[in-house]
Structure 1
Amino acid sequence: MEFTQKNLSQALSETDESELDSARFGIVKLDPEGKVEFYNKYESELAGLSVDQVLGQNFFTQVAPCTNNYMVSHKFNAAVENNTDLDETLDYIFTYKLKPTNVKLRLLKYRNNQWLCVAKQ
């Protein structure tokens, strides 16, 4: 599984969690309200937050409030509200609880699954 692969959201939805945990990029699965349902090892190590710390927490307000903005959370919320698919990649800088870190984010929504993928640059 690669960060840039076509139809990544579908692949993520069809892959078991042990395989997602071994991916070479961060994978966060969110429920429609933005609560973390899955948080892989890569993302845990990048952010310095354990899986136990983030599961069930709102990603945009409690885990990574630096993403609670028009560029990230608003796009997820709009896709959920409008029940539309989403696949957008953007350059971003994570700043919460770690030194500023350049990343590429891939925002994905496919059917009823929402994913935020993170590749360190």
Structure 2
Amino acid sequence: MNAATLSFSSANLASQLDNCTPEQLDQLDFGVIGFDAETNVRLYNAFESQAAGLSPERVLGQPLFTNVAPCMNNFMVAQRFDDANDEGSVLDDTIDYVLTLRMRPVKVALRLLASPGSANRYVLVQRAPR
């Protein structure tokens, strides 16, 4: 698989991201935050690290919704992952959002991805071109 062909809106993106190496994730032109069932960050690509100003060393292994991005710990983001998990359903939603942690408010699109039985869940971040 060629990571260069993946886009923020690609179909079946979660399963494709599951098969990417960290180097392939770093080639993407949108932010990738992959986390496990306990919400600990397992994947964090270079695009998101640079855009958010957080190093992988600071983010990897940390709980996403409390330590890394508490601005997403709400009904619009975190709760959707909980609901999909409780229902055993697939989550693939794209929402307009404003990131507020450690920065001036930034309008983004978030794509929320989760599948029953998958080890990873994803928050993808697409920032508007400057």
Please state which band the TM-score falls in when normalised by the shorter chain.
Answer: over 0.9
May I ask how many residue pairs the two structures share in their alignment?
A: 121
Whole-angstrom distance in 2 between the partners of 1:108 and 1:2: 14
Matching residue of 1:65: 70
**What is the alpha-carbon root mean square deviation over aligned residues?**
1.0
> Where does the alignment leave 5 or more consecutive residues of structure 2 unmatched?
1-5
The alignment partner of 1:53 has SS state of helix
Whole-angstrom distance in 2 between the partners of 1:84 and 1:107: 13
Matching residue of 1:15: 20
Offset at 1:99? 1.0
**Normalised by the size of structure 1, how large is the TM-score?**
0.95
Identity, in percent, stands at: 40
The 5 Å alignment of 1:85-96 reads 85-96=90-101
Offset at 1:11? 1.1
Which amino acid in structure 2 is aligned with residue 42 of structure 1?
Answer: F
Whole-angstrom distance in 2 between the partners of 1:83 and 1:19: 29
> Where does the alignment leave 5 or more consecutive residues of structure 1 unmatched?
none
Aligned residue among 107, 121, 124 for 1:117: 124
Matching residue of 2:3: none
**Normalised by the size of structure 2, how large is the TM-score?**
0.89
The alignment partner of 1:20 has SS state of helix
Offset at 1:25? 0.3
The 5 Å alignment of 1:1-121 reads 1-110=6-115, 111-112=117-118, 113-121=120-128
Whole-angstrom distance in 2 between the partners of 1:102 and 1:43: 14
